[in-house]
Chain A
Amino acid sequence: MASETRPLSPHLQVYRWQLTSVLSILHRAAGLALAAGTILLIWWLVAAAIGPGAYAGIRDFLGSWIGLLLLFGWSLTLYYHLCNGIRHLFWDTAHGLELPQVYAGGWTVLAATAALTAMSWIIGLIHWSA
């Protein structure tokens, strides 16, 4: 095929990693992970609707250290996609598109993600011990 001999555009590996591209890739990866996570969410809901036995199974899984790790990863992923999504909505208004602002927004998103995740777990853990 002639197309196989054509020169290709530079591939990703020739570029230095930078905040802008990393956050963009992470946004899509987070979206995919969250879509997969909805399976667990629906399993949780349906198990609760089926009865106490089914619910005990999923609750024991979510309460195990693997479940808690998944849950922590899920909350972090969801908050990242949320914060970066708000950044996208802001861009849609044609604001904040200068490079320094894009970088400032990126670091803000990372800080907000960490803050929201920490806040949610602190509130959750207070309720656990109460």
Chain B
Amino acid sequence: MPETRMRTPLGRAIGLGSAKEGVQHWWMQRVTAVALVPLVVWFVIWVIILTGSGADRAAFIAWLRDPVSAAVWVLLLIAAFYHGALGLQVVIEDYVGNEGARLGLIVVMRLMALLGCILGIVAVAKLSLGA
């Protein structure tokens, strides 16, 4: 049997190989998308209700005092920011040609997404556990 290799001689010589990530990015985009499907409808209706003239901060807090609501909020924040970071990464990779700028933007975007997510979770925790 002759040895069959998919890799080119140049590819072998450079030796970078794959990044061992495979379909991780693509797959997690789908997983977070599926998680967000039921969360989004619930969320939009609540946001509209809470911005109404009759609703004040007490109504918001009462909503987050319910442990199930608070847990769903945290789940939503994690799934949304994860999904958003994956999507923004693809957009940056598509339109930013310069490799340094591309890498830098991705790192800054990811840190911003992490910051937003943590800010949201801390705020939900504070409102839920007593503000």
Q: Does A95 interact with chain B (Cβ within 8 Å)?
A: no
A92–B34 alpha-carbon span in the complex (Å): 12
Q: Are A128 and B40 in contact (CB under 8 A)?
A: no
Given known A-B contacts A35-B87, A55-B57, A62-B51, A45 and B120 have beta carbons under 8 A apart? yes
Give, as a whole number of angstroms, the nearest-CB distance from B49 to chain A.
4
The answer to the question of B25 belonging to the interface, with a C-beta cut-off of 8 Å to chain A, is no
Contact with A along B30-55 (1 / 0, CB 8 A): 10011011001100110111011111
- In the bound complex, do residue B123 and residue A71 qualify as a contact, i.e. CB atoms below 8 Å apart? no
- Pick the interface stretch among A10-18, A103-111, A115-123: A115-123
* Chain B residues closer than 8 Å to A39, beta-carbon distance: 116
Contact A128:B49 (CB < 8 A) given known A35-B84, A75-B44, A89-B30: yes
Over the window 35-62 of chain A, the binary record of Cβ atoms lying under 8 Å from chain B Cβ atoms (1 yes, 0 no) is 1001101100110110110011001001
Q: For residue A73, which residues in chain B have a CB less than 8 angstroms away from its CB?
A: none
For the complex, is B105 an interface residue (Cβ under 8 Å from A)? Answer: no
Nearest CB in chain B to that of A126: its residue: B49
Evaluate contact between A82 and B48: CB separation under 8 angstroms.
Answer: no
Whether B123 and A46, one on each chain, are in contact in the complex, defined by CB atoms closer than 8 angstroms, is: yes
Q: List 16 A-B contacts (CB under 8 A).
A: A31-B88, A31-B91, A42-B116, A45-B120, A46-B123, A48-B127, A59-B51, A75-B48, A78-B40, A79-B44, A89-B34, A123-B49, A128-B53, A128-B54, A128-B55, A130-B54
Give the 3 A-B CB pairs with smallest separation, nearest first: A124-B48, A128-B52, A49-B123
